[in-house]
Amino acid sequence: MRILIINGPNLNLLGTREPEIYGSTSMETFLKELINEFPNTEIIYFQSNIEGEIINRLQELDYDATIINPGAYTHYAYAIADCLKSIKKQKVEVHISNIYQREEFRHKSVTAPYCDGVISGFGLFGYKLAMIHLLQQ
């Protein structure tokens, strides 16, 4: 199975950006853990700070399922939401922090209705939970 993991804006700074919220592990380090834990799964990773690049990557459809953390785009990126709506593959939205414990504007996700599930507040472990779910489908 090929799983695409997409991270949105500022998530390239994982490990150094607000470690009290996002932890101190970089995505590169965490990806190595995922690859070791799921050796029979091809993990494709993509991160962009640009909404259109995220949409273009999603539309390539060279994967079986996707895990997406849209970052701040979660709350207002209707173009990403429309893209997710058009993709008929399994999709899980992941948030490292519990978005419901943060600022009020973060409580609404415009992308979540077009995903099969949402995992929020479990740190990077949320990506593992999403992988387990997708692999059991």
Instruction: Read off the CATH number of the domain in which 28 is found.
Output: 3.40.50.9100
Look at residue 14 in the predicted model and tell me its pLDDT.
86
pLDDT recorded at residue 103:
72
pTM: 0.93
**Parent domain of 100:** 2-136
Measured distance CA(11)–CA(113) in Å, rounded: 22
Residue ranges for the chain with pLDDT beneath 50: none
Overall domain count for the chain: 1
- For 37, counting Cβ atoms within 10 Å of its Cβ (0-12 exposed, 13-18 middle, 19+ buried), the class is exposed
Q: What does the angle CA 30 – CA 33 – CA 36 come to, to the nearest 5 degrees? A: 155
Phi-psi region of 117 (alpha: psi -120 to 50; beta: other; left: phi over 0): beta
**pLDDT value of residue 92:** 98
Cite the active site residues. 22, 95
